[in-house]
Amino acid sequence: MEGAAPLEDYLHPSVTADVVLLAMRGDMLSVLLAKRRSSPIKGAWAILDGFVAKKESPERMAI
């Protein structure tokens, strides 16, 4: 990819996973949100997310 930084610039990449939980409540669609406890945008509502640990799958992190 032209213009992209070389891979050596990313010696410690971080992998994250986001979870979107939807539920039907009667005829209304609901989504589970969590209030952010840290920056950026501390206190804002957001979908559930987190960092994936080494030797952990994104699916396992989501559980």
The C-alpha atoms of residue 22 and residue 41 are separated, in whole angstroms, by 23
Q: Assess if residue 1 is contained within a domain.
A: no
Domain containing 16 equals 12-62
Q: Assess if residue 7 is contained within a domain.
A: no
pTM of the model: 0.61
Q: Assess if residue 39 is contained within a domain.
A: yes
Q: Assess if residue 6 is contained within a domain.
A: no
What pLDDT tens digit does each residue of the chain (63 aa) get? 566 777 677 677 788 999 999 999 999 999 999 999 988 899 999 999 889 998 899 899 888
| Total domains, the chain | 1
Q: Assess if residue 2 is contained within a domain.
A: no
Q: Assess if residue 46 is contained within a domain.
A: yes
Q: Assess if residue 57 is contained within a domain.
A: yes
The C-alpha atoms of residue 6 and residue 15 are separated, in whole angstroms, by 18
